[in-house]
Chains A and B, each alone.
Chain A
Amino acid sequence: MLVEHSERGEAMGKTTGRWTLALAAGLLLGGTAAAQGASDEAYEYFARNCVSCHTIGGGPLAGPDLAGLLDRRDRDWLSAFLLDPAGVIDSGDVYAQALLRDARGVYMPTPPGITADLADKLLTVIAVEDGLDKSRFAGLQLSDRPLTPVDIALGRQLFNGTTAFASGSPACFACHTVEGAAGFGGGRLGLDLTTVYARMEGRKALGAWLGAPPSPVMAPLFQDAPLDADEILALTAYLKHTSESGVEQASSGVLAFLLTGLGLAAVLLVLFDVAWKDRYRSTRRTLVEGRRSPRLASRAVEGMEGTP
Chain B
Amino acid sequence: MDVRSQIALIFHLDKCIGCHTCSVACKNIWTDRKGTEYMWWNNVETKPGTGYPTRWEDQENYKGGWELKGGKLRLKSTGRGRIIPNIFHNPSMPSMDDYYEPWTYRYEDLFTAPEGDDQPIARAVSMVTGEPIDVEAGPNWDDDLGGSPIYAENDPNLEELTPEVKQMMFEIERMAFFYLPRICNHCLNPSCVASCPSGAMYKRGEDGVVLLNQERCRAWRSCVSACPYKKTYYNWSTGKSEKCILCFPRLESGQAPACFHSCVGRIRYLGNILYDADKIVECASRPDNELVDAQRELILDPNDPEVIAAARKNGISDGIIDSAQNSPAYRFAKEWKLALPLHVEFRTFPMLFYVPPLMPVIANQDSGSVRNETEDLFADIEKARVPIKYLARLFSAGNEGKVRYALRKQLAVRLWRRHKTVGDISAEQAERALLEAECSPEEAEAIYQLTALASMEDRVVVPPAQREMAIEALEDPLEFKQSTGFGFLTGPARGA
* Interface of A toward B, CB cutoff 8 Å: 275-276, 278-280, 282-285, 287-288, 291, 303-307
Asked if A287 contacts B156 (CB within 8 A), the reply is no
- CB-CB under 8 A from B50, the residues of chain A are 284, 287
Q: Which of B58, B63, B97 is in CB contact (< 8 Å) with A285?
A: B97
In the complex, residue of chain B having the shortest beta-carbon distance to the beta carbon of A277:
B91
Most chain A beta carbons < 10 A, residue from B85, B95, B98, B154:
B154
Asked if A306 contacts B150 (CB within 8 A), the reply is no
We find that the number of chain B residues with CB closer than 8 angstroms to chain A is 26
Taking CB atoms and an 8 Å cut-off, the chain B residues in 75-106 that contact chain A are 85, 89, 91-95, 97-98
Asked if A287 contacts B97 (CB within 8 A), the reply is no
B89 CB, nearest partner CB in chain A, Å = 8
Given contact pairs A284-B54, A306-B159, enumerate 9 new A-B contacts (beta carbons under 8 Å): A276-B91, A278-B91, A280-B225, A283-B54, A284-B55, A285-B97, A287-B151, A288-B150, A303-B61
Asked if B58 contacts A304 (CB within 8 A), the reply is yes
A-B contact pairs, 24 of them (CB 8 A): A275-B85, A280-B61, A280-B62, A280-B63, A280-B94, A280-B225, A282-B98, A283-B53, A283-B58, A283-B61, A283-B98, A284-B55, A285-B97, A285-B136, A287-B54, A287-B154, A288-B136, A291-B150, A304-B55, A304-B61, A305-B159, A306-B60, A306-B156, A307-B60
* Given A304-B58, A305-B159, A306-B156, residue A283 in contact with residue B94 (CB < 8 A): yes
A305 to B153, CA, bound (A): 12
Asked if A284 contacts B60 (CB within 8 A), the reply is no
- CB-CB under 8 A from A279, the residues of chain B are 91-92
A305 to B61, CA, bound (A): 9
Could you give, for residues 34-74 of chain B, a 1 whenever the CB lies within 8 Å of some chain A CB and a 0 otherwise? Answer: 00000000000000001001110010111100000000000
Could you give, for residues 177-217 of chain B, a 1 whenever the CB lies within 8 Å of some chain A CB and a 0 otherwise? Answer: 00000000000000000000000000000000000000000
In the complex, residue of chain B having the shortest beta-carbon distance to the beta carbon of A291:
B150
Most chain B beta carbons < 10 A, residue from A282, A283, A305:
A283
B450 at the interface (CB under 8 A from A): no
* Given A276-B91, A279-B92, residue A284 in contact with residue B98 (CB < 8 A): yes
* Given A291-B150, A306-B156, residue A282 in contact with residue B97 (CB < 8 A): yes
Most chain B beta carbons < 10 A, residue from A278, A284, A285, A304:
A284
Asked if A287 contacts B150 (CB within 8 A), the reply is yes
B137 at the interface (CB under 8 A from A): yes
* Given A284-B53, A284-B54, residue A304 in contact with residue B154 (CB < 8 A): yes
Most chain B beta carbons < 10 A, residue from A275, A282, A288:
A288
Asked if B91 contacts A306 (CB within 8 A), the reply is no
- CB-CB under 8 A from A285, the residues of chain B are 97, 136
